Amino acid sequence: MKKAEVVLIPLPAMGHIVAVVEMAKLLVQRDDRLYTTVLVMHPTLDPSTTKYKESLAASTLPDRMRVINLPRVESITSATKGRNWLTYLIEGQKPHVKEYVSRIRTQFEMNPDSPRLAGFVFDTFATGLKDVSNEFGIPWYVFSAAGAAFIGSMLHLTALHDEQGADLTEFTNSEDELEIPSLANPIPAKLVPSTVFEKYSLTTFLLHARLLTEARGILINTFLELESYAVSSLSDGKSPPVYPVGPIVKHLGDGPDLLSDESNNSRDIMEWLDDQPPSSVIFLCFGSWGSFKENQVKEIAFALERRGHRFLWSLRKPSQNAFEIKMDYRKDFYGDTEIIVSSDDILKAIKNVMEQDSEIRKKVKEMSRISEKTLVAGGSSFSSLGLLIEDMMENMS
């Protein structure tokens, strides 16, 4: 039986590392010919990743899977960890990744029974490492922790810039409606990802979007039933094959959860939740980079107080992201500017979610039910993962 190894490299931020680790688990649990290695780049973007990595080292990972910390890129200092940090990080890690790949190849040459490298999986914003993959003649894939609609938006905006000469920075305050193939309805141009509004971040955005089209395939943390319109729009023959393999979640029992400051505090929270009436608690969480400045925190707090619902709030230090509450919320990619979402708007959003007969509630419950089925035999993501593995194994033939 031929054995294949897949090397996965996430962006070194909590949400991306967790998603890629869970993706690596899915691969080895699905096919006993596969081995996976997750290479974690350093320095990471948030301190919580340290505790998470320690939990991985302490827990028992599935057989045929490992997580390896790459050496720290010493050239990244407080002076460079600004707008150029990603470029410095990727360039600094290329020699380390190359060394690891050389080791795998040497091991296979010495022992043909050992796994042969079948492919790389790069985070959407780590595709600059493709140079290493190309040097060794190894196919590479992209993994997106975001949805299919976002990937479609990246590709479409890049086409507008490259093929039609559009100045995307002019969309900043534009009310003109923009039709994006991965979105079912037109949106005001000012609602596109804020990275396109500033020339430096736009350059980075376009660079990674262009690289998407060079990949052998794009893995997306979504499922067909959730984003059927967006997935269909990406199956136009112009983009690499898309593999919806989600929802990718960290399951209980996959090792200790050290994301909170103290495990006792976590237990207290769970006990409190167990004591509350069903569907009575609103949970506020805005992702691993989701934090706000003082004024926005106050507006959220005012809304929660006025509405009077029980709530659990994951509150982080400054500075992102209220798009989930208000469509035209925008924050500069580097945190220089911010539009405050008022407590009135937040109050309306809470009401829409928490009313017992809310359409939003009904849709969420239905989609939750569907999501549980999509990863098991016969489900759409189960089938998609199978197709991905087939393609990876073909790389070795």
| Tens digits of residue pLDDT in 203-217 | 889 999 999 999 999
pLDDT at residue 161 greater than cutoff 90: yes
Q: DSSP class of residue 292?
A: -
| The pLDDT of residue 224 is above 70 | yes
Give the residue-averaged pLDDT of 257-284: 78
pLDDT band per the 50, 70, 90 thresholds, residue 191: confident
pLDDT of the residue at 147: 93
User: Which among 220, 207, 69 has a CA at the least distance from the CA of 141?
Assistant: 220
pLDDT score of 158: 96
- Domain contains 128: yes
DSSP string, 6-72: EEEE--SSHHHHHHHHHHHHHHHHH-TTEEEEEEEEES-SSTHHHHHHHHHHHS-PPTTEEEEEEEE
In angstroms, the Cα distances linking 99 to 70, 73, 115, 121 are 10, 15, 17, 17
Whether the pLDDT of residue 322 is over 50: the answer is: no
* % of the chain at pLDDT higher than 70: 87
Do residue 77 and residue 144 come from a single domain? yes
CB atoms within 10 A of CB 262: 9
Q: Mean pLDDT across the stretch 9-27? A: 93
Do residue 292 and residue 219 come from a single domain?
Answer: no
Select from 242, 8, 246 the least CA-distant residue to 122: 8
Q: For the chain, what percent of residues have pLDDT higher than 90?
A: 55
Q: Are 220 and 194 in contact (CB under 8 A)?
A: no
What's the domain range around 180?
A: 4-252+371-394
Question: Who wins on pLDDT, 80 or 86?
Answer: 86
Helix (H, G, I), strand (E, B) or coil at 170: helix
Q: Are residues 179 and 322 in the same domain?
A: no
Question: Does 285 fall in a domain?
Answer: yes
Of the listed ranges 86-90, 171-175, 326-330, the one predicted with least confidence: 326-330
CA dihedral 292, 156, 11, 293 (to 10 degrees): -10
360 found inside a domain:
no
Do the beta carbons of residue 120 and residue 128 sit within 8 Å?
A: no
How many domains does the chain contain in total? 2
**Backbone φ/ψ region at 259: left (φ over 0), alpha (ψ -120 to 50), beta:** alpha
244 and 194: one domain? Answer: yes
Domain assignment of residue 196, yes or no: yes
- State the pLDDT at residue 263: 56
* Statement: residue 238 has pLDDT above 60: yes
Strands (E), 277-379: 281-284, 310-313
Tell whether 324 and 376 lie within a shared domain. no
User: Which of 187-196, 313-322, 327-336, 358-367 shows the lowest per-residue confidence on average (mean pLDDT)?
Assistant: 327-336
154 and 224, same domain (yes or no) = yes
> Residue 321: pLDDT band by 50, 70, 90 thresholds?
very low
Q: Are residues 324 and 198 in the same domain?
A: no
Quote the pLDDT of residue 357.
82
Mean pLDDT over 172-200 rounds to 89
Residue 378 sits in the same domain as residue 348: no
Q: Tell me, yes or no, whether 188 and 323 share the same domain.
A: no
Question: Chain-wide mean pLDDT for the chain?
Answer: 86
In a domain? residue 343: yes
pLDDT tens for 87-135 read: 889 999 999 999 999 999 999 889 989 999 999 999 999 999 999 999 9
- Taking 80 as the threshold, does the pLDDT of residue 278 lie above it? yes
Q: Tens of pLDDT along 351-371?
A: 888 887 888 888 988 999 999
Residues 285 and 323 in one domain: yes
Q: CATH number of the domain that 189 lies in? A: 3.40.50.2000
| Whether residues 163 and 35 fall in one domain | yes
Residue 108 lies in a domain: yes
At residue 39, the pLDDT reads 96
Residues designated catalytic: 16, 123
Asked whether the beta carbons of 301 and 341 are under 8 A apart, the reply is: no
Task: Name the band, by pLDDT with cuts 50, 70 and 90, for residue 258.
Answer: very low
Same domain membership, residue 238 and residue 163: yes
Q: Is residue 88 part of a domain?
A: yes
The first and second tokens of residue 250, run together, are 């960290």
Distance CA 302, CA 343 (A): 6
Residue 177 has pLDDT above 90, yes or no: yes
In a domain, 361, yes or no: no
**pLDDT at residue 397 in the model:** 61
Mean pLDDT over 274-301 rounds to 84
CA distances to 29, 129, 139, 359 from 91, rounded to whole Å, are: 32, 8, 20, 48
